[in-house]
Amino acid sequence: MAASHAAPLICVLGPLLSGPLAKADGVCSGGASFAKGPSVIDLDSTSAPCSRVFAPRVLTGDRPTGQLHLGHLFGTLLNRVRLQARGVDLMVLVADYQTITDRDSPASLPEDVDELVADYLSVGIDPARATIFAHSLVPELNQLLLPFLSLVTLPELLRNPTVKDEASASGMTALNGLMLTYPVHQAADILFCQATIVPVGADQLPHVEQTRAIARRFNSRYAPECPVFPEPEALLSDAPVLLGTDGRKMSKSRNNAIALAASADETARLLRQAKTDSDPHITYDPEGRPDVANLVLLTALCEEIDPRQLAEQIGSRGAAELKRRATEAINERLRPVRDRRSELISDRGYLRTVLRDGSAAARSIARSTLTQVAAAMHTNY
Protein backbone atom coordinates (compact mmCIF):
# COMPACT_ATOMS: atom_id res chain seq x y z
CA MET A 1 0.00 0.00 0.00
CA ALA A 2 1.11 3.52 -0.64
CA ALA A 3 2.69 5.41 2.18
CA SER A 4 0.29 7.76 3.81
CA HIS A 5 0.74 11.38 2.80
CA ALA A 6 -0.15 14.54 4.66
CA ALA A 7 -3.58 15.03 6.23
CA PRO A 8 -6.28 16.16 3.82
CA LEU A 9 -6.49 19.77 2.96
CA ILE A 10 -9.63 21.15 4.44
CA CYS A 11 -10.93 24.34 2.93
CA VAL A 12 -13.42 26.67 4.50
CA LEU A 13 -15.77 28.71 2.40
CA GLY A 14 -16.11 32.33 3.46
CA PRO A 15 -19.10 33.12 5.67
CA LEU A 16 -22.39 33.59 3.89
CA LEU A 17 -23.08 36.79 5.73
CA SER A 18 -19.90 38.49 4.74
CA GLY A 19 -20.92 39.89 1.43
CA PRO A 20 -18.84 39.83 -1.70
CA LEU A 21 -18.33 36.49 -3.32
CA ALA A 22 -14.77 37.44 -4.07
CA LYS A 23 -14.03 36.74 -0.45
CA ALA A 24 -15.34 33.24 -0.86
CA ASP A 25 -12.43 32.04 -2.97
CA GLY A 26 -11.74 29.69 -0.13
CA VAL A 27 -8.94 29.19 2.26
CA CYS A 28 -7.29 25.85 2.69
CA SER A 29 -5.10 24.69 5.49
CA GLY A 30 -1.51 25.05 4.38
CA GLY A 31 -2.31 28.25 2.54
CA ALA A 32 -3.49 26.55 -0.63
CA SER A 33 -6.52 27.89 -2.41
CA PHE A 34 -9.13 26.46 -4.70
CA ALA A 35 -11.07 27.59 -7.73
CA LYS A 36 -8.25 29.76 -8.92
CA GLY A 37 -7.45 27.73 -11.98
CA PRO A 38 -7.07 24.03 -12.61
CA SER A 39 -5.36 22.00 -9.93
CA VAL A 40 -2.56 20.19 -11.68
CA ILE A 41 -1.22 16.97 -10.28
CA ASP A 42 2.46 17.41 -9.75
CA LEU A 43 4.03 15.36 -12.49
CA ASP A 44 7.63 14.72 -13.14
CA SER A 45 7.91 16.21 -16.58
CA THR A 46 10.95 14.12 -17.44
CA SER A 47 9.13 10.83 -16.84
CA ALA A 48 6.16 9.31 -18.66
CA PRO A 49 4.25 11.23 -21.30
CA CYS A 50 1.40 11.91 -18.92
CA SER A 51 -0.53 15.07 -19.28
CA ARG A 52 -3.45 14.32 -17.01
CA VAL A 53 -4.82 17.42 -15.37
CA PHE A 54 -7.71 17.38 -12.92
CA ALA A 55 -9.86 20.42 -13.53
CA PRO A 56 -11.73 21.73 -10.47
CA ARG A 57 -14.94 19.79 -9.99
CA VAL A 58 -17.23 19.84 -6.98
CA LEU A 59 -19.19 16.78 -5.93
CA THR A 60 -21.59 16.53 -3.06
CA GLY A 61 -24.81 14.72 -2.26
CA ASP A 62 -27.57 13.79 0.12
CA ARG A 63 -29.49 10.69 1.06
CA PRO A 64 -33.12 10.90 -0.06
CA THR A 65 -34.50 10.20 3.40
CA GLY A 66 -36.74 13.20 3.98
CA GLN A 67 -37.18 16.84 3.21
CA LEU A 68 -34.20 19.16 3.50
CA HIS A 69 -34.38 21.84 6.19
CA LEU A 70 -32.89 25.14 7.33
CA GLY A 71 -29.79 23.36 8.62
CA HIS A 72 -29.11 22.12 5.08
CA LEU A 73 -29.92 25.51 3.58
CA PHE A 74 -27.37 27.43 5.62
CA GLY A 75 -24.95 24.53 6.06
CA THR A 76 -24.51 23.45 2.47
CA LEU A 77 -27.20 24.31 -0.10
CA LEU A 78 -26.43 28.01 -0.34
CA ASN A 79 -22.73 27.22 -0.67
CA ARG A 80 -23.51 24.99 -3.63
CA VAL A 81 -25.47 27.78 -5.26
CA ARG A 82 -22.58 30.16 -4.66
CA LEU A 83 -20.10 27.75 -6.22
CA GLN A 84 -22.44 27.29 -9.17
CA ALA A 85 -22.70 31.06 -9.57
CA ARG A 86 -18.92 31.21 -9.83
CA GLY A 87 -18.95 28.78 -12.72
CA VAL A 88 -17.56 25.79 -10.83
CA ASP A 89 -18.44 22.41 -12.35
CA LEU A 90 -20.99 21.10 -9.82
CA MET A 91 -22.20 17.50 -9.46
CA VAL A 92 -25.01 16.79 -7.00
CA LEU A 93 -25.76 13.20 -6.04
CA VAL A 94 -29.06 11.77 -4.89
CA ALA A 95 -27.45 9.01 -2.83
CA ASP A 96 -30.27 6.47 -3.05
CA TYR A 97 -28.14 3.36 -2.52
CA GLN A 98 -26.82 4.91 0.68
CA THR A 99 -30.31 4.87 2.19
CA ILE A 100 -30.22 1.07 2.46
CA THR A 101 -27.30 1.11 4.90
CA ASP A 102 -29.72 1.17 7.81
CA ARG A 103 -33.22 0.61 6.39
CA ASP A 104 -35.07 -1.26 3.69
CA SER A 105 -35.67 0.53 0.45
CA PRO A 106 -39.11 2.01 1.15
CA ALA A 107 -42.03 2.12 -1.27
CA SER A 108 -41.91 5.89 -0.83
CA LEU A 109 -38.40 6.13 -2.35
CA PRO A 110 -39.55 7.54 -5.72
CA GLU A 111 -41.40 10.36 -3.94
CA ASP A 112 -38.49 10.90 -1.57
CA VAL A 113 -36.20 11.31 -4.57
CA ASP A 114 -38.60 13.76 -6.22
CA GLU A 115 -38.76 15.77 -3.00
CA LEU A 116 -34.98 15.98 -2.83
CA VAL A 117 -34.67 17.11 -6.44
CA ALA A 118 -37.41 19.69 -5.79
CA ASP A 119 -35.50 20.94 -2.74
CA TYR A 120 -32.36 21.34 -4.86
CA LEU A 121 -34.06 23.25 -7.63
CA SER A 122 -36.11 25.42 -5.32
CA VAL A 123 -33.02 26.84 -3.60
CA GLY A 124 -31.41 27.65 -6.94
CA ILE A 125 -29.38 24.65 -8.04
CA ASP A 126 -29.81 24.99 -11.77
CA PRO A 127 -29.94 21.80 -13.85
CA ALA A 128 -28.69 23.76 -16.85
CA ARG A 129 -25.45 24.40 -14.99
CA ALA A 130 -25.19 21.58 -12.43
CA THR A 131 -25.48 17.81 -12.90
CA ILE A 132 -28.06 16.19 -10.61
CA PHE A 133 -27.94 12.38 -10.69
CA ALA A 134 -28.68 9.22 -8.70
CA HIS A 135 -26.62 6.14 -7.79
CA SER A 136 -29.16 3.73 -9.19
CA LEU A 137 -29.14 5.44 -12.59
CA VAL A 138 -25.33 5.39 -12.98
CA PRO A 139 -24.28 1.71 -12.90
CA GLU A 140 -20.68 2.50 -13.88
CA LEU A 141 -20.25 4.48 -10.67
CA ASN A 142 -21.29 1.47 -8.61
CA GLN A 143 -18.89 -0.76 -10.53
CA LEU A 144 -15.94 1.15 -9.07
CA LEU A 145 -16.83 -0.20 -5.63
CA LEU A 146 -15.29 -3.53 -6.56
CA PRO A 147 -11.68 -2.51 -7.23
CA PHE A 148 -11.90 0.06 -4.43
CA LEU A 149 -12.84 -2.62 -1.89
CA SER A 150 -9.55 -4.32 -2.62
CA LEU A 151 -7.73 -1.17 -1.53
CA VAL A 152 -9.09 -0.90 2.00
CA THR A 153 -8.55 -2.99 5.11
CA LEU A 154 -11.07 -4.31 7.58
CA PRO A 155 -9.46 -2.54 10.56
CA GLU A 156 -9.65 0.83 8.83
CA LEU A 157 -13.31 0.28 7.95
CA LEU A 158 -14.07 -0.71 11.53
CA ARG A 159 -12.34 2.43 12.82
CA ASN A 160 -14.50 4.91 10.85
CA PRO A 161 -16.10 7.02 13.62
CA THR A 162 -19.07 8.16 11.50
CA VAL A 163 -19.96 4.58 10.62
CA LYS A 164 -19.73 3.64 14.31
CA ASP A 165 -22.05 6.49 15.29
CA GLU A 166 -24.57 5.70 12.57
CA ALA A 167 -24.56 1.98 13.32
CA SER A 168 -25.22 2.64 16.99
CA ALA A 169 -27.88 5.29 16.27
CA SER A 170 -29.71 2.85 13.99
CA GLY A 171 -29.89 0.27 16.79
CA MET A 172 -28.52 -2.51 14.56
CA THR A 173 -27.51 -5.58 16.47
CA ALA A 174 -24.97 -6.66 13.84
CA LEU A 175 -23.19 -4.40 11.39
CA ASN A 176 -24.27 -5.19 7.83
CA GLY A 177 -21.75 -5.22 4.99
CA LEU A 178 -23.01 -2.06 3.34
CA MET A 179 -23.01 -0.07 6.57
CA LEU A 180 -19.38 -1.08 6.98
CA THR A 181 -18.36 -0.36 3.39
CA TYR A 182 -20.51 2.58 2.34
CA PRO A 183 -17.59 4.98 2.82
CA VAL A 184 -15.88 3.02 0.02
CA HIS A 185 -18.98 3.42 -2.11
CA GLN A 186 -18.88 7.11 -1.24
CA ALA A 187 -15.31 7.16 -2.54
CA ALA A 188 -16.74 5.85 -5.82
CA ASP A 189 -19.28 8.72 -5.74
CA ILE A 190 -16.46 11.20 -5.50
CA LEU A 191 -13.84 9.58 -7.71
CA PHE A 192 -15.99 8.35 -10.60
CA CYS A 193 -16.09 11.95 -11.79
CA GLN A 194 -12.58 12.79 -10.61
CA ALA A 195 -13.96 15.43 -8.28
CA THR A 196 -11.41 17.66 -6.59
CA ILE A 197 -13.60 19.42 -3.99
CA VAL A 198 -16.19 17.85 -1.67
CA PRO A 199 -18.35 20.26 0.36
CA VAL A 200 -19.44 18.38 3.46
CA GLY A 201 -20.23 18.65 7.14
CA ALA A 202 -17.55 17.70 9.67
CA ASP A 203 -19.12 14.24 10.19
CA GLN A 204 -18.17 13.37 6.61
CA LEU A 205 -14.44 14.10 6.99
CA PRO A 206 -13.54 10.45 7.73
CA HIS A 207 -15.14 9.53 4.39
CA VAL A 208 -13.14 12.14 2.50
CA GLU A 209 -10.00 10.87 4.23
CA GLN A 210 -10.90 7.33 3.16
CA THR A 211 -11.50 8.53 -0.39
CA ARG A 212 -8.08 10.18 -0.50
CA ALA A 213 -6.44 6.98 0.71
CA ILE A 214 -8.22 4.99 -2.00
CA ALA A 215 -7.21 7.46 -4.73
CA ARG A 216 -3.61 7.39 -3.54
CA ARG A 217 -3.47 3.61 -3.32
CA PHE A 218 -5.12 3.11 -6.70
CA ASN A 219 -2.71 5.51 -8.34
CA SER A 220 0.36 4.02 -6.75
CA ARG A 221 -0.67 0.42 -7.38
CA TYR A 222 -2.05 0.73 -10.91
CA ALA A 223 -1.05 4.06 -12.36
CA PRO A 224 2.20 5.30 -10.82
CA GLU A 225 3.19 7.09 -14.01
CA CYS A 226 -0.08 8.81 -14.67
CA PRO A 227 -2.64 9.12 -11.85
CA VAL A 228 -6.23 8.20 -12.63
CA PHE A 229 -7.72 9.88 -9.57
CA PRO A 230 -7.15 13.23 -7.86
CA GLU A 231 -6.98 13.40 -4.07
CA PRO A 232 -10.07 15.50 -3.36
CA GLU A 233 -10.22 18.15 -0.68
CA ALA A 234 -13.06 18.56 1.81
CA LEU A 235 -14.71 21.95 1.81
CA LEU A 236 -16.24 22.71 5.20
CA SER A 237 -18.91 25.34 5.52
CA ASP A 238 -18.19 27.70 8.38
CA ALA A 239 -21.90 28.02 9.21
CA PRO A 240 -22.25 26.87 12.82
CA VAL A 241 -24.33 23.83 13.62
CA LEU A 242 -27.99 24.84 13.78
CA LEU A 243 -30.10 23.37 16.54
CA GLY A 244 -33.61 22.10 16.11
CA THR A 245 -36.59 23.39 18.04
CA ASP A 246 -35.86 20.95 20.88
CA GLY A 247 -32.31 22.20 21.42
CA ARG A 248 -30.65 19.18 19.78
CA LYS A 249 -28.91 19.21 16.40
CA MET A 250 -31.44 19.96 13.64
CA SER A 251 -32.11 16.67 11.93
CA LYS A 252 -34.77 15.11 9.74
CA SER A 253 -34.92 12.05 11.95
CA ARG A 254 -35.46 13.99 15.19
CA ASN A 255 -38.60 15.81 14.14
CA ASN A 256 -37.14 19.11 15.30
CA ALA A 257 -36.36 20.58 11.90
CA ILE A 258 -37.96 23.41 9.96
CA ALA A 259 -38.22 21.90 6.49
CA LEU A 260 -37.85 24.10 3.43
CA ALA A 261 -41.19 22.66 2.37
CA ALA A 262 -43.00 23.38 5.66
CA SER A 263 -45.93 25.79 5.47
CA ALA A 264 -45.81 29.20 7.15
CA ASP A 265 -48.28 27.91 9.76
CA GLU A 266 -46.25 24.80 10.53
CA THR A 267 -43.18 27.01 10.88
CA ALA A 268 -45.03 29.26 13.34
CA ARG A 269 -46.20 26.25 15.33
CA LEU A 270 -42.70 24.73 15.51
CA LEU A 271 -41.25 28.03 16.66
CA ARG A 272 -43.93 28.48 19.33
CA GLN A 273 -42.75 25.18 20.79
CA ALA A 274 -39.06 26.04 20.49
CA LYS A 275 -37.01 25.86 23.67
CA THR A 276 -35.86 29.11 25.25
CA ASP A 277 -34.80 29.89 28.83
CA SER A 278 -36.00 31.91 31.82
CA ASP A 279 -33.84 35.02 31.31
CA PRO A 280 -36.26 37.68 29.94
CA HIS A 281 -33.47 39.71 28.32
CA ILE A 282 -32.36 38.41 24.89
CA THR A 283 -28.61 38.17 24.29
CA TYR A 284 -26.47 36.27 21.79
CA ASP A 285 -24.46 33.82 23.87
CA PRO A 286 -24.03 30.50 22.02
CA GLU A 287 -22.07 28.92 24.89
CA GLY A 288 -24.17 30.05 27.82
CA ARG A 289 -27.62 30.21 26.21
CA PRO A 290 -27.58 27.80 23.24
CA ASP A 291 -31.35 27.67 22.70
CA VAL A 292 -31.89 31.42 22.61
CA ALA A 293 -28.69 31.93 20.60
CA ASN A 294 -29.89 29.40 18.05
CA LEU A 295 -33.16 31.29 17.47
CA VAL A 296 -31.22 34.55 17.22
CA LEU A 297 -28.81 32.99 14.73
CA LEU A 298 -31.53 31.46 12.53
CA THR A 299 -33.30 34.80 12.41
CA ALA A 300 -30.07 36.69 11.70
CA LEU A 301 -29.12 34.30 8.89
CA CYS A 302 -32.53 34.82 7.31
CA GLU A 303 -32.35 38.60 7.67
CA GLU A 304 -28.66 38.65 6.71
CA ILE A 305 -27.65 40.69 9.71
CA ASP A 306 -25.23 40.12 12.56
CA PRO A 307 -26.72 37.96 15.35
CA ARG A 308 -25.34 40.25 18.09
CA GLN A 309 -27.04 43.23 16.52
CA LEU A 310 -30.29 41.32 16.26
CA ALA A 311 -30.11 40.27 19.94
CA GLU A 312 -29.58 43.91 20.94
CA GLN A 313 -32.58 45.01 18.93
CA ILE A 314 -34.79 42.53 20.77
CA GLY A 315 -33.19 42.91 24.20
CA SER A 316 -35.75 43.29 26.95
CA ARG A 317 -38.68 42.54 24.66
CA GLY A 318 -37.91 38.94 25.45
CA ALA A 319 -38.50 35.48 24.05
CA ALA A 320 -42.00 36.15 22.73
CA GLU A 321 -40.69 38.95 20.54
CA LEU A 322 -37.73 36.80 19.46
CA LYS A 323 -40.07 34.02 18.35
CA ARG A 324 -42.33 36.45 16.54
CA ARG A 325 -39.40 37.91 14.67
CA ALA A 326 -37.90 34.47 13.96
CA THR A 327 -41.18 33.25 12.48
CA GLU A 328 -41.49 36.29 10.27
CA ALA A 329 -37.87 36.18 9.12
CA ILE A 330 -37.89 32.47 8.33
CA ASN A 331 -41.21 32.58 6.52
CA GLU A 332 -40.09 35.63 4.57
CA ARG A 333 -36.74 34.06 3.64
CA LEU A 334 -38.37 30.79 2.58
CA ARG A 335 -41.33 32.29 0.75
CA PRO A 336 -39.75 32.29 -2.74
CA VAL A 337 -38.19 28.88 -2.13
CA ARG A 338 -41.57 27.47 -1.07
CA ASP A 339 -43.42 29.06 -3.97
CA ARG A 340 -40.98 27.60 -6.45
CA ARG A 341 -41.00 24.28 -4.67
CA SER A 342 -44.74 23.85 -4.75
CA GLU A 343 -44.75 24.54 -8.49
CA LEU A 344 -42.00 21.97 -9.01
CA ILE A 345 -43.57 19.26 -6.91
CA SER A 346 -46.73 19.45 -8.97
CA ASP A 347 -44.67 18.60 -12.06
CA ARG A 348 -43.03 15.32 -11.19
CA GLY A 349 -42.46 14.54 -14.85
CA TYR A 350 -40.12 17.50 -15.03
CA LEU A 351 -38.28 16.46 -11.84
CA ARG A 352 -37.73 12.99 -13.28
CA THR A 353 -36.46 14.47 -16.53
CA VAL A 354 -33.94 16.55 -14.62
CA LEU A 355 -32.71 13.46 -12.78
CA ARG A 356 -32.59 11.27 -15.88
CA ASP A 357 -30.77 13.88 -17.96
CA GLY A 358 -28.29 14.55 -15.17
CA SER A 359 -27.75 10.82 -14.71
CA ALA A 360 -27.14 10.35 -18.45
CA ALA A 361 -24.47 13.05 -18.28
CA ALA A 362 -22.96 11.44 -15.18
CA ARG A 363 -22.92 8.07 -16.96
CA SER A 364 -20.85 9.36 -19.80
CA ILE A 365 -18.33 10.79 -17.33
CA ALA A 366 -18.35 7.47 -15.47
CA ARG A 367 -17.76 5.49 -18.67
CA SER A 368 -14.76 7.57 -19.53
CA THR A 369 -13.32 7.06 -16.04
CA LEU A 370 -13.95 3.31 -16.25
CA THR A 371 -12.02 3.24 -19.52
CA GLN A 372 -9.05 4.80 -17.75
CA VAL A 373 -9.49 2.39 -14.83
CA ALA A 374 -9.64 -0.63 -17.14
CA ALA A 375 -6.48 0.46 -18.94
CA ALA A 376 -4.66 0.94 -15.63
CA MET A 377 -5.86 -2.42 -14.27
CA HIS A 378 -5.17 -4.33 -17.50
CA THR A 379 -8.81 -5.32 -17.83
CA ASN A 380 -9.32 -3.60 -21.16
CA TYR A 381 -9.80 -6.69 -23.30
Residue 59 or 293 with smaller CB distance to ligand TRP: 59
Q: Give whichever of 186 and 194 is closer to ligand TRP, judged by the CB atom.
A: 186
Angle at which helices 318-345 and 109-123 cross, to 10°: 110
Where helices occur in 86-204 by DSSP H, the ranges are 109-123, 139-143, 145-149, 154-159, 161-170, 177-191
Minimum separation from the CB atom of position 331 to ligand TRP (A)? 26
CB nearer ligand TRP, residue 200 or residue 319? 200
| Shortest distance (Å) from residue 26 CB to ligand TRP | 17
Return the ∠ at Cα 184 (arms to 219 and 148), rounded to 5°. Answer: 40
List Cβ neighbours of 219 (8 Å cut-off, separation of 6 or more). 2, 227, 228, 229
Point out which residues pair with 200 in neighbouring strands: 236
- Cα–Cα distance between 335 and 316 in angstroms, integer? 29
Interaction site with ligand TRP (CB under 6 A): 59-63, 93, 95, 98, 186, 189-190, 198, 200, 204
- Give me the least distance between CB of 94 and ligand TRP, in Å please: 9
* Minimum CB–partner distance for residue 322 and ligand TRP (Å): 30
Residues 6+ apart with CB under 8 A from 34: 11, 25, 26, 28, 56, 196, 197, 233, 235
By beta-carbon proximity to ligand TRP, the closer residue of 190 and 301 is 190
CB of 190 to ligand TRP, least distance (A): 5
Report which of 261, 276, 278 is spatially closest to residue 331, judged by C-alpha positions: 261
The residue (of 132 and 292) whose beta carbon lies closer to ligand TRP is 132
